[in-house]
Amino acid sequence: MDAPTQRPIAKLIERLFFATALAAGTLAISPASAQTPLAPTVSKKPQVTPPKNDAALRALTPTPAQMLLNPPDGDWLMWRRTYDDWGYSPLTQINTDNVKNLTVAWSWAMTPGATETTPLVHDGVLFLYNFLDKVQALDATNGELLWEYKRDIPAEIPRQNGNFAAKRNIAMVDDKLIVATSDVHLIALDMKTGKLVWDHEVDDYKKGWRYSGGPLVAKDVIVQGMTGCGNAMPGGCYITGHDVNTGKELWRFHTIAQPGEPGGDSWNGLPLEKRFGASTWNSGSYDPETDTIFLGVGQPYPHVAEIGGLLPKKDGANNDALYTDATLAIDAHTGKLKWHYQHLPNDTWDLDYAYERVLVDLPVDGKTRKALVTVGKLGIIEVLDRTNGEWLWSKQTVYQNVVSNIDPKTGAKTINQDAVPHIGKTTTNCPADPGSRGWPATAYSPRTHMLYIPLNEYCSDSTPIPIEEGKAYTGGSRAVFARTQIPNSDGNIGRMDGIDLFTQKAVWSDRTRAPQTGAALATGGGLVFAGALDRYFRAYDDTTGKVLWQMRASNIVNSFPISYSVKGRQYVAVAVGNGSSQARALATLTPEIGIPDGGSTLFVFALPENK
Q: Which domains are seen in the chain, by residue range?
A: 4-606 (2.140.10.10)
* Residue 4 confidence (pLDDT) above 60: no
pLDDT tens figures, 266-313: 999 999 999 999 999 999 999 999 999 999 999 999 989 999 999 999
Q: Which one, of 193, 191, 209, lies nearest residue 201 by Cα?
A: 209
User: What percent of the chain has pLDDT above 90?
Assistant: 81
Complete DSSP assignment for 149-198: EE----THHHHH-GGGG--S--EEEBTEEEEE-TTSEEEEEETTT--EEE
Strand 337-342 versus strand 358-364 pairing type = unpaired
pLDDT, residue 162, reads: 58
Q: Which of 13-27, 48-62, 316-330, 345-359 has the lowest mean pLDDT?
A: 13-27
Under a CB-based contact definition with an 8 Å cutoff, are residues 109 and 15 in contact?
A: no
pLDDT number for residue 16: 38
pLDDT averaged over every residue in the chain: 91
Give the helix ranges, DSSP H, for 392-471: none
DSSP annotation of 447 reads T
544 pLDDT exceeds 80?
yes
DSSP 532: B
pLDDT of residue 536 exceeding 80: yes
What is d(CA 557, CA 564) in angstroms, rounded to the nearest whole number?
19
- Rounded-to-integer distance, Cα 96 and Cα 91, Å: 12
Spatial CB neighbours of 547, under 8 Å, sequence gap ≥ 6? 510, 538, 539, 540
In three-state secondary structure terms, 226 is coil
DSSP track, 296-314: E---EESSSHHHHT--SPP
d(CA 92, CA 197): 37
Alpha carbon distance 590, 224 (integer Å): 35
Total length of the chain: 611
pTM of the predicted model, to two decimals?
0.92
pLDDT at residue 330 is higher than 50: yes
pLDDT over 80 (residue 108): yes
pLDDT per position as a tens digit, 406-421: 999 999 999 999 999 9
Q: Is the pLDDT of residue 23 over 80?
A: no
- What mean pLDDT comes out for the span 155-184? 89
CB 268 within 8 A of CB 320: no
pLDDT digits (tens, 9 = 90+) for 427-476: 999 999 999 999 999 999 999 999 999 999 999 999 999 999 889 888 88
Asked if residue 312 has a cis previous peptide bond (ω within 30° of 0), the answer is yes
- Among residues of the chain, what percentage have pLDDT more than 70? 92
Residue 569 near residue 71 (C-beta atoms within 8 A): no
CA-CA distance, 270 to 381, in Å (whole number)? 32
Q: Letter for the amino acid at 409?
A: K
* Other Cβ atoms closer than 10 A to 39: 8
Mean pLDDT of the 373-389 span: 98
pLDDT score at 611: 55
Q: What are phi and psi of 100, to 5 degrees?
A: -60, -15
Residue at 329: amino acid letter: A
Q: Are residues 113 and 162 in contact, defined by beta-carbon separation less than 8 angstroms?
A: yes
Residue 41: per-residue pLDDT:
41
What amino acid occupies position 435?
Answer: G
Distance in angstroms (rounded) separating the CA atoms of residues 433 and 121: 34
Tell me what pLDDT residue 44 has. 55
CB-CB contact of 323 with 278 (8 Å): yes
